Each structure stands twice: as C-alpha cells, then as structure tokens.
Amino acid sequence: MTTQTLSVSSSTTTRSLGKTGVLIVNLGTPDSPNTPDVRKYLREFLMDGRVIDIPYVSRWMLVNLIIAPFRAPKSAKIYQAVWTPEGSPLKVYGLAVEEMLAKALGDDYVVKLAMRYQSPGIEAGLSELQRQGLSRIVVVPFFPQYASATTGSVYEEVMRVLKDWQIMPELRFINSFLDHPKFIEGFVRLGKKYMAEHPYDHYMFSYHGLPERQIRKGDVTQQYCKLGSCCDTLTAANQHCYRAQCFETTRLLVRELGIPEGKYTTCFQSRLGKEPWIQPYTEDLVRELPKKGIKSVLAFSPAFVSDCLETTIEVGEEYKEMFEEEGGEHWQLVESLNDSEIWVETLVDLVKRA
C-alpha cells in the first residue's frame, strides 16, 4: 500500500477535535440501463482527458459523433443483463460497503460513497463531508493498481472541487493497494473455493487494458519503459506503472494460491480502437489456450473490486463462449470482492493507516 499526503497536520490536539471523513470512490455507472442514460454516462466517462488522452476537439468528435451514438444501444443491452431490482451492481455493492465500512470504523468516521462519473458524484460527496466540519478526509479510489485514467482522474476531480474551499482539512489519498495482505487474501479465498471444486489446467489473470501511450507517458524518465521485461519486477523505477503493478498482483496471488510456473498468464482486456494497447491481449490468449490442450480455466479479474460489465459479462460470459468455441470445456470466473467482510477489513486498514 502506498499513500500520498497533500497536507499534514502537526498538531495532535487538532487530530482529537473532529471526525475523519472517508470518501470511497468507484468508476461509475449509468443511472439506468436505458440507452439515453447509458449514452450520457459514456459521454462523461470518455470525455475525461485522462481516459482518452487526445486533444479536446478530436476527443469530442470521437466520443460524441462515433462512440456514444453507436455504442450506447449495445452497451444498454448489456447493462440490462446485469441490472438488479436494486439497481446497478456497482452501486449496490458500493452502498453496501459504505454502510459496512461506517459501522466497522465507528463514530469517529463519516463514510460516503462517490462515483467518478454520474451519481452519487464526487462533488456531492465532498460537499456533504464539508458540512460535517471534519478534521481530515481520506479518499479511497477503488482501484488496486494505479492508473492515470482511474486513480489519477479521481485525484484530479477531488482537487478541482477542493480548490474553491476556504478551509481545507487534512487530506490523504490511497494511491494503490495491490499488495495489501487482505486484498490478496480475499481473492485467494475465492480462488481456493473453486480450486477445491474442480481441477484446472490453467489460471488466467485478466486486467483492464490501457493504450500503450499512456504507460509510456507515465515513465517520466523516458528511459525505462519498454513494455516488456521491465515489468517483470516492481521496482522504484516502475512503481507507478500500471502494467508492472498488474504483473506484481499476479505474482502475489500465484504465490499464495500455490500455482506452478507455466500454468498461469497475465493479460489485458477491454481494448478499444485500433491503436496498440498493453499486451498480451486476453481475447487472443482465450482463443489460443484450447489449441494447446488446455480444457479448463479459472479466470481472475484482480483490477476490479466490484463485479461489473467487464467481469460478469466480458470475462464471465464472452470469454467463456470464445473458449468453448475453440474446444475448451470448463471456464469459471472468480467473482470480485464486492461487499465481502474481508474487503471491508481491507478498507478499514487502509483508512486507519492513512
């Protein structure tokens, strides 16, 4: 776990006077699975310059004239498939965790859920915390591995809101938590449950992809990043590299699960557009595995703490169908941490350490 401190109070007296606000932040979800709401969500999400990092005019034309009009109806059908009577799974799990975390932390903390895109928004969440007269605020983006398009975007939005506050409380950010013992243990417990039920030929660890250019831009030295073996170990030079952090997450999970070398792969999904994204691509590997005699796969999605389209549909259903089309026989998705007790325990520790 790493944290970034934006301001540090040196007074222990001040620390005892007020409560701590905790803003937990996930990516976001449409207000409904209907096409207009999905289109609205896509426009806000994809117009973020940290998500599609191209010049504004080009981004506006791409999002508003191509992606949102044509992708929204297709995405709406997928959202309808995962929508529950209570609403979007991402928000349902988030609200459950908000309540559980508040109870676990106790009366000295105020917990609010926010989404980076759509509602409940970051600005609304921070405004509510502001009215509480808090001594400090801890912001916890729900992204295990740091990326500019996720955690970085949350930082930017939080600071955009806070810049207009007359009084700013002490502020802490959770930068990443890919190596937190309880985060790892949570996925290990889930994985072992499935491993006890069925023998698997191979284990896949699929993370959300990013354009290669975003990874290269993160190398401030412009000397280290090669998008290859440089990600084989996590070092001071690549500590903030999303790809390197993903490979490190896999190594930690593999070690605890007791998976031998040669029986697992780390890969990246959800590619958008024709330009190069970080590799290897999950889709390509899914099609190749049956050709190598692999008939059963246990698939993890450790970039997500809450199940969503990218886990339930993309990994759980679409990749399963691809795998079976190529001759595979058994494909199993390991669910995310969602509203599990160990995920709440992880958050409690992250907040208190911050």
State the average pLDDT for the chain: 93
Question: Residues 222, 198: one domain?
Answer: yes
The Cα-based distances of 220 to 53, 192, 341 in angstroms read 16, 39, 38
| More confident: 225 or 306 | 306
Judge whether 231 and 238 are in contact, CB under 8 Å. yes
Give the pLDDT mean for 72-78.
95
Categorize the per-residue pLDDT at 272 as very low, low, confident or very high, splitting at 50, 70 and 90.
Answer: confident
Categorize the per-residue pLDDT at 2 as very low, low, confident or very high, splitting at 50, 70 and 90.
Answer: very low
Give the pLDDT mean for 331-344.
98
Categorize the per-residue pLDDT at 15 as very low, low, confident or very high, splitting at 50, 70 and 90.
Answer: very low
Question: Residues 106, 221: one domain?
Answer: no
Helix axes of 181-197 and 242-257: crossing angle, nearest 10 degrees: 50
User: What digits encode the pLDDT tens for the residues 162-184?
Assistant: 999 999 899 999 999 999 999 99
Question: Residues 141, 278: one domain?
Answer: no
**pLDDT for the residue numbered 236:** 87
Print the domain residue range for 31. 2-177+340-353
Question: Residues 281, 312: one domain?
Answer: yes
pLDDT higher than 70, residue 306: yes
CATH code of the domain in which 29 resides? 3.40.50.1400
Question: Residues 97, 238: one domain?
Answer: no
**pLDDT for the residue numbered 107:** 95
Give the pLDDT mean for 145-160.
97
Q: Shortest CA distance to 257 belongs to which of 295, 300, 286? A: 300
**pLDDT for the residue numbered 278:** 95
Question: Residues 248, 186: one domain?
Answer: yes
**pLDDT for the residue numbered 6:** 39
Question: Residues 279, 223: one domain?
Answer: yes
User: What digits encode the pLDDT tens for the residues 243-262?
Assistant: 999 999 999 999 999 999 99
**pLDDT for the residue numbered 16:** 53
pLDDT higher than 60, residue 3: no
Question: Residues 13, 127: one domain?
Answer: yes
pLDDT higher than 70, residue 312: yes
| More confident: 191 or 7 | 191
Question: Residues 214, 102: one domain?
Answer: no
CA separation for the pair 319, 270 (Å, rounded) = 11
Residue 178 one-letter amino acid: L
Question: Residues 151, 224: one domain?
Answer: no
Phi, psi of 293, deg, nearest 5: 85, 10
Residue 228 one-letter amino acid: G
Question: Residues 148, 234: one domain?
Answer: no
pLDDT higher than 80, residue 290: yes
Q: What percent of the chain is predicted at pLDDT more than 90?
A: 86
What's the domain count of the chain? 2
Question: Residues 102, 213: one domain?
Answer: no
Q: Where are the alpha helices (DSSP H) in 146-288?
A: 153-162, 181-197, 212-217, 242-257, 282-288
**pLDDT for the residue numbered 138:** 98
